[in-house]
Structure 1
């Protein structure tokens, strides 16, 4: 992918091929007059995402929205949409109690502004079709990656994943409340100024609300150098929830299906992460996070609503 061509779509000039400031996808920091901006990839429903984030911004939510330019923003390069956001100066997450509480409040506020239907036409969550063969293939890859890193995988993990496969249709038919949400709410997508500011809303979708909460619980510390190399502790989770619940009252149905929701989100979001990225098993921070996540999903009963 040619970073120079992408940046020039927006009328910016750069010398030579720019370096991405994010290791996992193209994110370019450039100058726009006296302002620093970021050029990054967004999803296929770019206009839907921008309408949604503009609504959040209009309601006082700290979230990036497209910079006004002389050309359309976002733009399409080949088959991929790109958008220009302001570069937000602030502090990185450091795992402080206040940061965790404020992050929970921000997610609660975001969910509180969700319409009752998918009126922004965001991507609808529909991942309820995992099968046993996929679990077996993923487990084989995970075991191989872990063995190269000198780690033994508890076989109970596969049992839990197969349980999740069996529970999919029950979750699908449970009538769980859905929300519009950025659906990638984790520490490396927040900057603290000192309040948390969401800098990557581009995975936005229409999703069961407790799935979004479970994702924050599981992967809030993923891919972040300053964050603890683990999931939230139980006390940290209670703190996050206390902020979240200032804006959201969870339903009895959500409480009933919470355990199965955690397992399902692990199946959907964490299993592939562990199976697809062998190199992460060689990084001490990700290795520690992965092993902690496995222990977590085998027994996370104390992480309640």
Structure 2
């Protein structure tokens, strides 16, 4: 309630977040509904993020930018920084071919618009410090979750595979992959179709190897959205996504050669903890189906190349 009042919104009851993992409030405005949510912190980083999203919007990208208020927006409240965005009306993604192509086209356009240098001073991706102990601990948790839900898991293979991925971190870090500024959370639950896809959550923007961001979309585009399929893209759907994406992007030789290793690294970074630590996801049969499919991609990603 205090956060909303700082932005000038009078509310009678304590609001409930519409997202379980972070404060995100849907507020009824006098003229238009808005979303109040936590963004990058401290305020200097938030301001750079808003410059970036405004830059994208100015170049034809459908993306939320801060709502015009009589008060500062964004602003720091307590130990966090919050922003007010317009509430975007539309429909959620459902896995139609046209939706997949349009999503790929949007991500490709965003990537193509990135400055060559880190002009917007986004935080640099530097998650190359996983160790074997961390892998062993995570695989142990995954094994426990799997046993609890009668989920077939080859934990010996999984630990060996993730150990191999850990051993390649320095190679990936130093191989010279093209790096871009991107919202870096390009998932179906962050898009609203109006009917074209509109990005409603740019707040994880970072400076990151381009194919890492693309690999995240491959692995987790369908995560956390009930209207999406309960599995990652099929190989055919992935080709549709690439069809849209490649309208704006041309891969380099080094991206082609490191694509599979990039997918494995993003699994290590983004998927391992999800399967290990988010126990409530294991209660959901759809999420267990998703986990099974993600493990199959880790085992054999050959159906998910970046040649279209």
TM-score (norm 1): 0.98
What is the match of residue 100 of structure 1?
A: 100
**Deviation by residue 1:204-240 (Cα, 9 ceiling, x = unmatched):** 0000000000000000000000101111000100110
User: What SS does the aligned partner of 1:172 have?
Assistant: helix
Is 1:187 paired with 2:188? Answer: yes
The 4+ residue runs of structure 1 with deviation greater than 3 A are none
Counterpart of 1:284 in structure 2 is 285
Distance 2:150 2:70 in 1: 54
Once residues 122 and 270 of structure 1 are traced to their aligned partners in structure 2, the CA distance between those partners, rounded to angstroms, is 23
> In 1, Cα distance between the equivalents of 2:201 and 2:167?
33
* Partner residue, 1:59: 59
Mapping 1:154-165, distance limit 5 Å: 154-155=154-155, 156-165=157-166
Partners of 1:30 and 1:200 in 2: CA distance: 16
Please tell me whether the aligned partners of residues 91 and 194 of structure 1 are also in contact (alpha carbons under 8 angstroms): yes
TM normalised by structure 2 equals 0.97
State the 1:32 CA deviation: 2.6
Over residues 150-189 of structure 1, what are the superposed CA-to-partner deviations in whole Å (9 max), with x where a residue is unaligned?
A: 1131232222211110110100111000010000000000
Q: CA shift at 1:291, angstroms?
A: 1.4
Distance apart, 1:270 and its partner CA: 0.4
What's the offset of the Cα at 1:149?
1.2
The CA deviation at 1:142 is 0.8
Contiguous gaps of at least 5 residues in structure 2: none
Q: Is the 8 A contact 1:143 1:152 kept in 2?
A: no
Q: Tell me the CA shift for residue 24 of structure 1.
A: 2.1
What secondary structure does 1:82 align onto?
strand
Supply the distance in 1 between the matched residues of 2:226 and 2:20 (Cα, whole angstroms).
12
Structure 1 unaligned residues grouped into runs of 5+? none
1:38 aligns with 2:30: no
Alpha-carbon RMSD across the aligned residues, in angstroms, is 0.8
| Partner of residue 26 from structure 2, selected from 8, 25, 29 | 29
CA distance in 2 between counterparts of 1:252 and 1:297 reads: 22
2:8 matched to 1:11?
Answer: yes
Residue in structure 2 matched with residue 70 of structure 1 by the alignment:
70
Contact 1:74 1:81 in 2 (8 A): yes
